[in-house]
Chain A
Amino acid sequence: MPVLDTVNTKIRMQRAGRIKADVTLGERAFLYSIYASVIAFALFCLIPFWLVVAGSFTPEANLRLDGFRLIPRAFSTYSYEYVIHGNQIGNSYLVSFSVTIVGTLLALAVTVPFAYVLSRKVWISRPLSFLSYFTMVVGGGLVGFYILVSKWLGLKDTKWALILPYLLDPFFVFVLLAYFRTVPEEMIEAAVIDGANDLIVFWRVVCPLSAPIIATIGLFYALRYWNDWWLALLFIDSSANHPLQYMLKQLQATTDARFYIGNPSPRFSTVPNYGVRLATVVMTIGPIILAYPFVQRYFVRGITLGALKG
């Protein structure tokens, strides 16, 4: 149909940035206000973080006198040298990395299929839904949890104590569930007609379609494992098994970081207590911010899939 072709062509050319869309004044104002809001919030997020970064590169004396500044009066990497110098940092990075990677993969393996089952119209879904939600609202209580992990499962001072308790988060289950419900039933039926069983439907049809949300949940799990210090506080005694966040927490709580880092070099005659707190924040965020762009690919892929279908 010629008219539609023209319109479609026009739209494709617009997308390619070739011709300017017929944009009204109202639309333009709307677009500007959107950009303004986005930039404002981005700054709102960035500036405190920037202050932390700037502060981490400031000598301790300046930090105490001036506090946070956008442009510090003096530059120094002393805090970082201090943190890195001890052996603990290497250990902690290693522990955090391994726990995060293994944990995220296992958690996805447990959570995604579970959420899928909950989204299907089978009898078992409703009871399971309620049972999952129930645990989210009524926690197990600290004492019970502690006895379970340290005594009954015997996981004290092992990395598994850092991984297993977070394998299934009902919150993520329900987010996935909501998403799975939007998968068109026709696609699943088509696959079933072609002879697929539930496993194949799940793996070959639903998962690829849900790549954006699975990637999102994977990211959230990774963040949770990476940021956690709670499990370490409860179950880890030897510093060889301290994840990064727990090490940071120790540094923040001690009056004298020197003890924890174990760092007797005479070079470090003064202890940068504030600087250490800030430097460790930056060192925690670093890997995640670097990894995030890789995850973002999945968001883009979703768009491509949608466009192809059209």
Chain B
Amino acid sequence: MGTKLSRRQMLQLMGSTVVAAAGSSLLAACKPAGPTATTEGPTAQSTIEPSPAALEQVTLKLAFAGDAPSSEVLGEVLAEAEARLADTLNVKLDISFAPWSDMSKLDLILQSGEDIDLIFDAPWWHIHQNIAQDFYVVLDDLLPVYAPHVLEVRPQIMWDANKFNGKVYGIPLGVFCYQGRQSIIRKDIREALGLPKPTNWDEMEALLKAAKEEYPDMIPINYFYFGDYASHLTTQDFDTSPRSTTMPDLDVLYMEGNDGVVRNMFEDMSERIWSIFQRVHAWFEAGYIPSDVLTNGQNYMMNSGKTVVDCQTEFGVPVTHRKDVEAMGGETEWVTFFDRSKKRVTNFLQYNFICVPKVSKNQERSLRFLDWANASKENYDLLAYGIPGKHWEPAGDDMYRVLDASYPWFPYMWVWNPTYERTNEEFGAEAADWNKWTMDANNFEADKITGHTFNNDAVVDQMAQLGALKTQYYYPTSSGTADLETNWQEYKEKANDLVKVVQEEYQRQVDEFLASKGG
């Protein structure tokens, strides 16, 4: 069932994380441990103009994407927020949601010049194009004046890494330095096979082999996001950190190590990556990977009871998976191959931003509103989790317990930050520990090109064509379903010229960027 991949699922992979049901959250910050503490944003000590006592009421329009809560529930929470703001900012909040499957509505809103005060955008969505088309206000000078709290609660590295063309075009919304990865395993099946919990891919393969023999009706390993098993392997590879230029997932234009060199898979294929492609294809030939993995959507997820191993992002078994499998009499566990002894290279790019469109007539008020939202734990808690006592209650300082799940979890649309984030109790201690680890910037090596924005103006046509080709040729390779040699050859013939052009342009910009940084 369900062949079409919903945006929400893509989003989950891209790390703006919503784990279904009782809402989730990762633990807080990518706090750099040590003296570079929290107040390092550009001029955090600001001269705030005091808001005038009685402002005229204004309705702020926000445009988000995703699962819209019912008007009733949202109305309750917003009413409470508006009540708290009545004496100071005096705003009414009007939030509209574009469904994941139709996010182009956000584009339409921008392109038609509609009156919007705050809008969601992301690097995996269209933030680069929208910035190039001059839709957003530059926030560098405005934030210290109108929204100093917004600056305070996010660490310096997050601001540095998430500028575009050297400027702040959107407030980064995220908490971690590098997205978690895990494989969820049916514990009961593994134990029935008499195998230990895998600690590397060879052991995992042994598990898949045994599972295939003993349980021929089950899918040994599944991954719904384009079946991109290769990326699932490379993102957990801390030796050479293979990655694409911006995202942790792999692409034909890739990077390895940390030398600021943009590589082209067609001309300069890394042996490591090629061996991963071969391995994945071997899995397909051996029957570990379902042949319709490119279309299967949610069909083989753990909670259909048809899968032994399920590839996921983040840490900790999602609540629905756990409950559904237990209802079938099974048990789940999870494992990650992140290597704490090594430092993975990452560019600290966040996956969600909130931006102020230039057409907004209430720019100052909107920023002040975000300032309020980031000013205290109470304000943040309200918008993120709902009305305390009704929708949730605290479980200590750092965690929370869901009482009423009708208010969905979407702080990553407007307020998400490391300082006030609470974890959902449901995820357990081990996941919480791993989350803390990925929060800490010291555990990672900063990519040389952190903070670089690629201006794709010169190559926008090539990239559009490559986008179309990627679905056709790349994913069949990285999912193992296509014949490796012939498919890759065809892909090369069609795409290499395009990729070379983009590569040259990209490398040129990277070199400029590195030169300007003095290294």
Contact = CB atoms under 8 A, between A and B. Distances in A.
The reply to whether A and B meet directly (CB within 8 Å) is: yes
Interface of A: 61, 63-65, 67, 86-88, 142-143, 146-147, 150-151, 233-234, 237-240, 249-250, 253-256, 258-264, 270-271, 274
Interface stretch (B192-200, B234-242, B247-255, B400-408): B400-408
Nearest to B323: A270
B295 interface: no
B68 A259 contact: yes
Interface in B1-16: 1-2, 6-9
Contact of A233 (B20, B99, B113, B406): B99
A256 B20 contact: yes
Contacts of B72: 87, 262
A64 B323 contact: no
Contact residues of A: prevailing secondary structure: helix
Contacts of B458: none
Given A143-B112, A264-B405, A233 B67 contact: no
Given A87-B70, A233-B102, A253-B7, 11 more contacts: A151-B114, A234-B105, A239-B70, A253-B102, A254-B8, A255-B8, A255-B67, A256-B67, A259-B69, A261-B70, A264-B73
A258 B323 contact: no
Given A143-B111, A151-B114, A253-B101, A260 B305 contact: no
Interface string B86-117: 00000000101011111001001001111000
A252 B100 CA distance: 11
Contact of B305 (A65, A150, A237, A253): A65
Contacts of B111: 143
Interface in B251-275: none
Nearest to B95: A237
B129 to A, nearest CB: 15
A280 B56 CA distance: 44
A82 to B, nearest CB: 13
A255 B405 contact: no
B45 to A, nearest CB: 40
A259 B112 contact: no
B40 interface: no
A142 B408 CA distance: 31
B6 A255 contact: yes
For this complex, into which size category does the number of interface residues on chain B fall? 35 or more
A87 to B, nearest CB: 7
B324 interface: yes
26 contacts: A61-B324, A65-B304, A86-B70, A143-B112, A146-B112, A150-B112, A233-B99, A233-B102, A253-B6, A253-B7, A254-B8, A255-B20, A256-B405, A256-B408, A258-B405, A259-B67, A259-B407, A260-B68, A260-B69, A260-B70, A262-B71, A262-B72, A262-B73, A263-B70, A263-B406, A264-B73
Contacts of A270: 323
A249 to B, nearest CB: 7
Contact of A253 (B20, B96, B99, B112): B99
Contact of B70 (A151, A234, A262): A262
B70 A259 contact: yes
B6 A262 contact: no
B360 interface: no
B305 A240 contact: no
B2 to A, nearest CB: 8
Most buried by B among A146, A264, A270, A274: A264
B324 A64 contact: yes
Contacts of B94: 237
Contacts of A271: 21, 320
| From B70, B94, B323, B404, residue with most partner A Cβ within 10 Å | B70
Interface in B56-96: 67-73, 94, 96
Nearest to A86: B70
B10 to A, nearest CB: 12
A240 B71 contact: yes
Interface of B: 1-2, 6-9, 18, 20-21, 67-73, 94, 96, 98-102, 105, 108, 111-114, 303-305, 320, 323-324, 327-328, 404-408
Contacts of A63: 1
B429 to A, nearest CB: 25
Contacts of A86: 70
Contact of B67 (A61, A254, A263): A254
- A-B residue pairs, 7 tightest by C-beta: A262-B70, A264-B406, A254-B67, A237-B96, A259-B408, A239-B71, A253-B99
Contacts of B21: 256, 258, 271
Contact of A260 (B67, B323, B327): B67
Nearest to A262: B70
A151 B69 contact: no
A151 B304 contact: no
Contacts of A234: 105, 108
Of listed A233, A254, A255, A260, residue having the most chain B CB within 10 A:
A255
A230 B101 CA distance: 12
Interface centre among A143, A234, A240, A260 (most CB of B within 10 A): A260
B304 A264 contact: no
A245 B320 CA distance: 27
Given A65-B305, A255-B8, A259-B67, A249 B406 contact: no
A233 B305 CA distance: 35
B100 A253 contact: yes
B426 to A, nearest CB: 14
A151 B359 CA distance: 14
Contacts of A146: 108, 112
Contact of B404 (A87, A151, A255, A264): A264
B406 A258 contact: yes
Contacts of B73: 259, 262, 264
A261 B323 CA distance: 22
A144 B101 CA distance: 22
Contacts of B105: 233-234
A276 to B, nearest CB: 12
B99 A250 contact: yes
A147 B112 contact: yes
B160 to A, nearest CB: 34
Contacts of B108: 142-143, 146, 234
Contacts of A255: 6, 8-9, 18, 20, 67
Contacts of B8: 253-255
Contact of A64 (B99, B305, B408): B305
A40 to B, nearest CB: 26
Contact of A250 (B68, B96, B112, B327): B68
Contacts of A253: 6-8, 67, 99-102
B23 to A, nearest CB: 9
B353 to A, nearest CB: 22
Q: Which of B2, B71, B101 counts the most chain A CB atoms within 10 A?
A: B71
Nearest to B390: A264
B67 to A, nearest CB: 4
B307 to A, nearest CB: 11
Contacts of A274: 1-2
B64 to A, nearest CB: 11
Nearest to A269: B323
A143 B110 CA distance: 10
B343 to A, nearest CB: 34
B114 A61 contact: no
Contacts of B6: 253, 255
Nearest to B408: A259
A68 B349 CA distance: 43
